[in-house]
Amino acid sequence: MARSRSPRGEGDRLRAELLDAAEQLLNETGDEREVTVRAIVDRVGVTPPSLYRHFPDKQSLIREAVARRFGSLAEAIRAGRAPAQQAGDVAGALRGGCLAYLQWAQQEPGGYAMLFSARRDTLLPGGPSGTAAFVSLESGIEACQQAGVARGGDSFEQALLLWAALHGLATLTVNLAQIDWPETEVLVDGLLGALVGLETG
């Protein structure tokens, strides 16, 4: 049953609900092509014109939903880096960001799967490697290189390898939770040592 038009001033709430619905449907279907405008508006209880008052088309809505999830991941990484960064510990900041990445993936399995597992035709400009989450990894590696606590080399390539390794851990530790995995800190320290030559703790 369609709900009535939102009172003045509640448009932002409807916009957020449409984004939530798009995210949920991407999580559930794993395929953008199955996330139709009709499915989105039915989930919220409005009609297609209500969606088009906030988004010019479905692709714009999907793109913003994906960007919002990447933003949440980036904020988690920033928070994980912050304590060590404020203390001037560049190695600890990179390590904290990696730990925060994995923690977010574990706490937000649906949102994480939507970012990296769902089939999507709608992509962000620059792709995932252009997001703040990835840039944080690359800049963290560069800071460690400049401080002389990580090996030299192409920081972009090293960040790609580190991201791929973190993604593998994030996916496997969630999907194969029955395995007796080492502590997350041990896994992250191993990755940082092997991939960027970082000496931790």
Burial class (CB in 10 A: 0-12, 13-18, 19+), 68: middle
Are 128 and 70 contacting, i.e. CB atoms less than 8 angstroms apart?
Answer: yes
- The whole-angstrom separation of Cα 39 and Cα 48 is 10
Residue 185 pLDDT > 90, yes or no?
yes
For the chain, give every domain's residue range. 11-196
Average pLDDT across the chain, whole number: 88
Rounded to a whole number, what is the largest CA-CA distance in the chain?
Answer: 62
According to the model, what pLDDT value does residue 201 have? 57
- d(C-alpha 84, C-alpha 182), whole Å: 23
Residue range 117-131, pLDDT digits in tens: 767 777 777 767 778
- Model pLDDT, residue 66: 87
Q: Say yes or no: domain 11-196 is CATH 1.10.357.10.
A: yes
pLDDT-based confidence at 146, cuts 50/70/90? very high
Neighbours of 147 (CB within 10 A): 12
Tokens of 88: 């001037």
Residue 31 three-state SS: strand
For the residues 144-148, what does the mean pLDDT come to? 95
Q: How many CB atoms lie within 10 A of CB 5?
A: 14
Q: What is the mean pLDDT of residues 123-145?
A: 85
Let me know: does 65 contact 22? Beta carbons within 8 Å: yes
pLDDT in tens, 57-111: 999 999 998 888 888 899 999 999 999 999 999 999 999 999 999 999 988 887 8
> Is 159 in a helix, a strand, or coil?
helix
